[in-house]
A and B are shown apart, each in its own frame.
Chain A
Amino acid sequence: MFDSLFKKPGVLVQGITGSHGTFHTAAMLAAGTNIVAGVTPGKGGQTVHDVPVYNTVAAAMNAQKIAISAVFVPAPFAKAALIEAIEAGVKLIVCITEHIPVHDMLAVLAAAKEKGSVILGPNCPGLLVPGVIKLGIIPATVGLMGETAIVSRSGTLTYEAAASLSAAGIGQRYIIGIGGDRLHGLSFVDCLTAFQADLHVARIVMIGEIGGQAEQQAAAYIKAHVTKPVYAYVVGHSAPPSTQLGHAGAIMGGESESAAAKTAALEAVGATTAQSLPALIAKLSKAS
């Protein structure tokens, strides 16, 4: 699924003239990302860090070869921006924007499914392939080229995991934050599928959270399909039940949604687990 990331794909930044869009366009360019266009309605004809800005995704697609869009559009306008990218045929859409209403995402995900677009996020830090490409806001400094694949629901814990591994001299092939919202596109299972198939991935680090059943689904997938070592940490051991802890998705319903139950499910299928991220990294370092 991620093969195209290594072929210098053309990247579009939606919301490029906004403060976050402009700041992170510079950071993505510095990390080697081939940004060929930006879109902000009404700002067509301008440039941002020498990247040409267009009024619509369709206009940008006509003028440039684009495979991926990184979306920094504010939440009230995100649904329209995402649907515009889907309808223009963008294959991979990385949505950084947080606080997109759930009913908007229902419509976006249904449209993406119909048109065959993959959405990473929303409310996610994006994706970093150290030394190759950065899509989103993961600081490039946390990465080191190597063979570990990281997937996490939390943005900041994604950075934390990568930085700790790099400090221990263990490099990464992929660093992916899938986002903390109730509804999101790319899932743990999608990432595990790609990691298992990728010959350059030697081991997998997975960081889950309380709430929902995504970790249980990942555990079932690991049991059936994953032969590579999996290291897993589920955050939220101290979380009180039925309280939403920041992430819209991190609200613990039944007992099966607790950190303890999810950790047990992952351990039962052979994943190495720990009660904290430093403890998990220590176990991984010892084994590598």
Chain B
Amino acid sequence: MNLLEYQAKALLTKHAVPVPHSQLIRAATDTLSLMLPVMLKVQIPVGGRGKVGGIRAARTKTEFSEIAADLLSRPILGYSATELLAEELVHIHRELYLALAIDRDQQTAVLMAHMHGGVDVESAANDSRPVWQRTLVSAPKKAMARELSTYLKLNNTQASELHLLLKHLYDVFIQEDALLVEINPLVITDSGDLLCADAKIELDDAASFRHEKDWPRAMHSQQFIPLVDKGEPKQSAHIIASMANGAGLAMATIDAIADAGATPANFFDVGGGTNTTHMAEAFATMAKLPGVSAIVVNIFGGITRCDDVARAIITARGNVKKLPPLYIRLTGTNEAEGRALLADAGIALYPDLKACITAAMEVRHV
């Protein structure tokens, strides 16, 4: 789960990490409690908003209302924001980059830093300029903070501030089950203080069982991912929705749909256990995607049992209006039981994925 900036900063504040004074704005008519001027930052789950006018300064009350109204009224980078973050103006002396992340290959936590933070740090990282990186097995020690301070060219006061900051960021990383805590930029202000001007935090969805109370509600569910949207021109005569059990099979299914010359409408991994409600919701969402002419269901049961899937399909089919035709492939654990149930319900089955897609593409698009 990727947090929005204001959610990330709320977690930072909870762990005593310094961030600018701010106020969440939900409407242009909200009363501003901060001193003018303020920066208004649109809250969307992707980077690059500054380059397209998603971060703007307001010097007067009138400007504040106008900019707030504008940022809340139109999509930015494809997202319609419902929140803005108003922040006090930060007087920037230098911009640095700091991140705690998981190194997949080394299977460890790492602390990374860069002399030059800011909007273009990713392209900067591709330069040969050094990126400072150390493995973390426990909270950063004083020696590590001192070493990093030397690399970042901080003075003695800032070096002690950095050590404290690193310890607090490590608390966020571990206690909040974060996969990424990225501070970009970490600002040295004109008065010499360290301040986290922007933050990106990704939390581990798998750890939600131990954070039910303190985590923000998930903003963007990642299980069902639409791949077509209403704004885009139609790419092909056949737009095919799909579901499969297992992420790999679901990806292979959309690959095969694209290979056959049709447009995959979505990605959906129905998961290991089969839940009738989830399946009905997925069918309903698919039926609403623009131009979908068919739904391919590709199930190879391992831990998933075919008879459970069959029951879920039958129930879900009955509950969803205007459902496009289903093309189902069902094999694996409890296959015979699953096939019998679908046969009784008068639902046809296809021997493999290719046969499903071929049949789905024979449907004339209306």
Interface residues in chain A, defined as those with a beta carbon under 8 Å from any beta carbon in chain B: 20, 24, 27, 75-76, 96, 98-104, 106, 109-110, 125, 137-139, 142, 152-157, 159-160, 163, 180, 182-183, 207, 209-210, 212-213, 217, 235-240, 243-250, 259, 275-278
Contact = CB atoms under 8 A, between A and B. Distances in A.
Given A103-B177, A183-B107, A248-B206, A275 B246 contact: no
A249 B249 contact: no
Given A109-B107, A237-B258, A277 B174 contact: no
B258 A238 contact: yes
A246 B223 contact: yes
B247 interface: yes
A212 B210 CA distance: 27
A102 B267 contact: no
A245 B269 contact: yes
Interface stretch (B7-15, B21-29, B298-306): B298-306
B15 to A, nearest CB: 16
Contact of B331 (A76, A163, A240, A245): A163
B232 interface: no
A101 B204 contact: yes
A137 B33 CA distance: 58
B255 interface: yes
Contact of A160 (B177, B210, B249, B254): B249
Q: Which of B204, B247, B252 has the most CB of A within 10 A?
A: B247
Nearest to A216: B105
Nearest to A185: B107
Q: Which 6 A-B pairs have the closest CB atoms?
A: A154-B248, A246-B247, A156-B246, A246-B269, A156-B249, A247-B247
B82 interface: no
B247 A278 contact: no
Interface in B295-338: 300-303, 331-333
Contacts of A275: 255, 259
- The secondary-structure label for the interface of chain B is mixed
Given A75-B206, A152-B248, A276-B255, A238 B302 contact: no
A154 B247 contact: yes
Contacts of B250: 245-246
B209 A276 contact: no
B124 interface: no
Nearest to B126: A254
B104 A249 contact: yes
- With most chain B CB atoms within 10 A of its CB, the pick from A156, A157, A277 is A156
A245 B247 CA distance: 6
Contacts of B272: 98
A37 B204 CA distance: 33
Contacts of A277: 252
A28 to B, nearest CB: 13
Contact of A217 (B105, B179, B205, B255): B105
Q: For the side of the interface on B, what is the size category?
A: 35 or more
Nearest to B136: A106
Interface in B256-293: 256-259, 264, 267, 269, 272
A106 B248 contact: no
Given A20-B303, A159-B302, A154 B246 contact: yes
Contacts of B303: 20, 24, 96, 125, 137
Contacts of B267: 239, 243, 245-246
Nearest to B46: A242
Given A155-B246, A160-B249, A217-B105, 13 more contacts: A76-B210, A101-B207, A102-B179, A156-B244, A157-B246, A157-B248, A180-B248, A212-B104, A213-B104, A245-B247, A247-B247, A259-B255, A278-B353
Contact of A102 (B102, B252, B264): B102
Given A154-B247, A217-B105, A247-B248, A125 B302 contact: yes
A235 B352 CA distance: 18
A160 B255 contact: no
B309 to A, nearest CB: 12
A242 B235 CA distance: 22
B227 interface: yes
Contacts of A75: 206, 209
B225 interface: yes
A101 B248 contact: no
Nearest to B227: A240
Contacts of A155: 246, 248, 302
A195 to B, nearest CB: 20
Nearest to A233: B252
B74 to A, nearest CB: 23
B91 interface: no
B141 interface: no
B32 to A, nearest CB: 34
B93 interface: no
13 contacts: A76-B210, A137-B302, A156-B244, A156-B248, A156-B302, A160-B249, A180-B248, A183-B107, A207-B248, A238-B227, A246-B269, A248-B205, A275-B255
Interface string B181-219: 000000000000000000000001111011000000000
A154 B102 contact: no
A207 B251 CA distance: 12
A20 B177 CA distance: 27
A285 to B, nearest CB: 15
B81 to A, nearest CB: 19
Contacts of B174: 103
Contacts of B108: 106
Nearest to B299: A156
Nearest to A217: B105
A174 to B, nearest CB: 17
B236 interface: no
Contacts of A106: 102, 107-109
B354 interface: yes
A138 B352 CA distance: 18
A75 B247 CA distance: 18
